[in-house]
Amino acid sequence: MVDLLIKNALVVTCHPNVISGRIFSPGAVAVHRDRIVDIGPSAELEAKYADAAKVIDGDGRIVMPGFIITHTHMPYVLGHNQPVDVSQLRSFWDMLQKMGWEWLEDITTADGILAATQYASLKMLKSGTTTVCDLVEAPNALPGPLTASVRAITETGIRAQIGYEVTERVAGVPIAERLDPAYAKRGFEENIRLFESLASAEGQSSRIQGRLGVHTAYTNSPATLERARELANQYKCGIQIHIAEIPRAFLVEKYGRSAPEVLEETGLLGPDVVAAHCIDLDDADIDILARNKVNVAHTPMTNSLGGNGVARVPEMMEKGINISLGHDCFFTLDTAEYIRFAYLIHKAHWANPALLPPFQALDLALGNAAAALGMEKEIGSLDVGKKADIILIRPDSPMPVTPSTVIPFFTMTFRGSDVETVIVDGEIVVDGGTSTRVDEAIVRKACVEQAVALWKRNGIEA
Ligand SMILES: [Zn+2]
């Protein structure tokens, strides 16, 4: 007997990647406990698992692996729609120092993190994202931000890797004026507290893993970057960091070297590193990322917001760099929009419609993302033995979605609101578009209250 049989659906395995994956129509997936135990033609599995404890009829639905976002900051939802004075935002530095730090991170509280992370993870689940890698930044909420994150994530049921951002930046002091390693120490302590608690809390939540957070090469000294590598090796947790989201010239001016050069010298880079942005890189920088097998979290929307240019994704792919998808939580939480943005921007920028075909754009949020998080054996595709992280989509499309149209559907018309059922670890966490875990109205209300309180700290009345 199996716990769950999803039958009569258009099953897209995306295994080992989207283009090589199998499609069964009508197909079925059998789940027992937290794992996929069988995939194949529906009639075959229906006969084999006639006594399944629960059956979902997937007629008219696409069944596929849940999406994975490899870089975000869930507490940033508190800044959504904040009516800030845009005349103060004339450069990326303004965006970073005012919109990112002064108006948001530096005034974020633990209660804000709890409410925002509940809301963001719920919204992501409802639109088909089953795993997220979250980098928490709230210097004035230390110690404790990750405790709030863990609580929120545990409640909504999303799978996550989380870490606190280590930085020597002193809140309220320009980084060119002063950095202080004591602040990095507090950041390390917050990460270590999480790693130790996850290691000791037996069965607390196997869905949460730690991933050491580091802000950037330019807000940390080489000694702090070396310490980050030591800790990542000790806890086998991997590292998440921002690389080259700012003009290359800034680092070259400061250190005489680019961010990849500084990070390679300190030994921080490696196949367990997820690097967000990676925009302003020269050929030698890209070679450094390639030879260190660094995973890139491509964040096309925030790269555009900051006016930072377009990351050289097609060239990085050619050099064998694993490219996944991040979103920073600055905009919508619907992964469909980020897939589509990534799918389009490189065609426009390089005037080449052949770049990033639909299957490749989709891989960014599936197999590539699973590999970036070191979880390619567990998630990112439907395969026997893998975690049952599965989504059911009811396409709101004017055209038939068939085995030959299902992949282009994702870049053409798919929206997160088409997602109907979401399964994580074999557990149905979204049923008919509604969370089975939390009261959505309460989550939303708490998040709105925290956003209004944060805006007030900026002198803004909602
Ligand atoms: Zn970021």
Q: What does the pLDDT profile of the chain (462 residues) look like in tens digits?
A: 999 999 999 999 999 999 999 999 999 999 999 999 999 999 999 999 999 999 999 999 999 999 999 999 999 999 999 988 888 888 888 888 888 899 999 999 999 999 999 999 999 999 999 999 999 999 999 999 999 999 999 999 999 999 999 999 998 898 888 999 999 999 999 999 999 999 886 545 589 999 999 999 999 999 999 999 999 999 999 999 999 998 888 888 878 899 999 999 999 999 999 999 999 999 999 999 999 999 999 999 999 988 889 999 999 999 999 999 999 998 999 999 999 999 999 999 999 999 999 999 999 999 999 999 999 999 999 999 999 999 999 999 888 999 999 999 999 999 999 999 999 999 999 999 999 999 999 999 999 999 999 999 999 988
User: CA–CA separation, 377 vs 374, rounded Å?
Assistant: 8
Distance between Cα 333 and ligand 1 center (Å): 14
Distance between Cα 8 and ligand 1 center (Å): 40
164: CB partners within 8 A, 6+ apart: 135, 136, 137, 142, 145, 146, 187, 190, 191, 194, 213
Q: Are residues 272 and 417 in the same domain?
A: no
Distance between Cα 111 and ligand 1 center (Å): 21
Distance between Cα 235 and ligand 1 center (Å): 22
Distance between Cα 167 and ligand 1 center (Å): 13
Question: In this structure, is residue 437 part of a structural domain?
Answer: no
Distance between Cα 9 and ligand 1 center (Å): 37
Q: Residue 100 has what DSSP assignment?
A: I
Distance between Cα 188 and ligand 1 center (Å): 18
| Polymer length in residues for the chain | 462
Distance between Cα 93 and ligand 1 center (Å): 14
Distance between Cα 164 and ligand 1 center (Å): 12
Question: In this structure, is residue 225 part of a structural domain?
Answer: yes
Distance between Cα 369 and ligand 1 center (Å): 16
Distance between Cα 157 and ligand 1 center (Å): 23
Q: Residue 19 has what DSSP assignment?
A: T
> What are the CA-CA distances from residue 363 to residues 31, 34, 70, 324, 347 (Å)?
23, 23, 12, 8, 17
Is residue 141 a contact partner of residue 110, using CB atoms and an 8 Å limit? yes
Distance between Cα 388 and ligand 1 center (Å): 28
User: CA–CA separation, 140 vs 386, rounded Å?
Assistant: 40
Distance between Cα 165 and ligand 1 center (Å): 10
Distance between Cα 297 and ligand 1 center (Å): 9
Instruction: Give residue for tokens 């404890």.
Output: 53
Question: In this structure, is residue 386 part of a structural domain?
Answer: yes
Distance between Cα 236 and ligand 1 center (Å): 22
Query: What is the pLDDT, as a whole number, of residue 359?
Result: 98
Distance between Cα 261 and ligand 1 center (Å): 20
User: CA–CA separation, 449 vs 414, rounded Å?
Assistant: 31
Q: How many domains does the structure of the chain reveal? A: 2
Distance between Cα 213 and ligand 1 center (Å): 10
Query: What is the pLDDT, as a whole number, of residue 202?
Result: 59
Q: Are residues 32 and 57 in the same domain?
A: yes
Q: Are residues 136 and 60 in the same domain?
A: no
Distance between Cα 440 and ligand 1 center (Å): 26
Distance between Cα 242 and ligand 1 center (Å): 6
445: CB partners within 8 A, 6+ apart: none
- Does the model's pTM come out above 0.95? yes
Q: Are residues 93 and 11 in the same domain?
A: no
Q: Name the amino acid, one letter, at 182.
A: A
Q: Which of 202, 212, 339 minimizes the C-alpha distance to 273?
A: 212
Distance between Cα 72 and ligand 1 center (Å): 6
Q: Are residues 224 and 136 in the same domain?
A: yes
Three-class SS state of 99: helix
Q: Are residues 148 and 46 in the same domain?
A: no
Distance between Cα 6 and ligand 1 center (Å): 36
Distance between Cα 376 and ligand 1 center (Å): 23
Distance between Cα 246 and ligand 1 center (Å): 12
Distance between Cα 287 and ligand 1 center (Å): 23
Question: In this structure, is residue 455 part of a structural domain?
Answer: no
Distance between Cα 63 and ligand 1 center (Å): 30
- Chain-centroid distance of CA 131 in Å reads 7
Residue 45 belongs to domain spanning: 4-66+380-431
Report the CATH number at residue 42.
Answer: 2.30.40.10
Cβ burial of 442 (10 Å; 0-12, 13-18, 19+) is exposed
Q: Are residues 299 and 405 in the same domain?
A: no
Q: Are residues 411 and 265 in the same domain?
A: no
Distance between Cα 32 and ligand 1 center (Å): 36
Distance between Cα 45 and ligand 1 center (Å): 43
Residue where a domain terminates, one of 323, 345, 372: 372
Q: Are residues 38 and 112 in the same domain?
A: no
Distance between Cα 277 and ligand 1 center (Å): 8
Q: Are residues 293 and 424 in the same domain?
A: no
Is residue 260 a contact partner of residue 220, using CB atoms and an 8 Å limit? no
Distance between Cα 216 and ligand 1 center (Å): 10
Report the CATH number at residue 234.
Answer: 3.20.20.140
Beta-bridge partners for 294: none
Q: Are residues 220 and 328 in the same domain?
A: yes
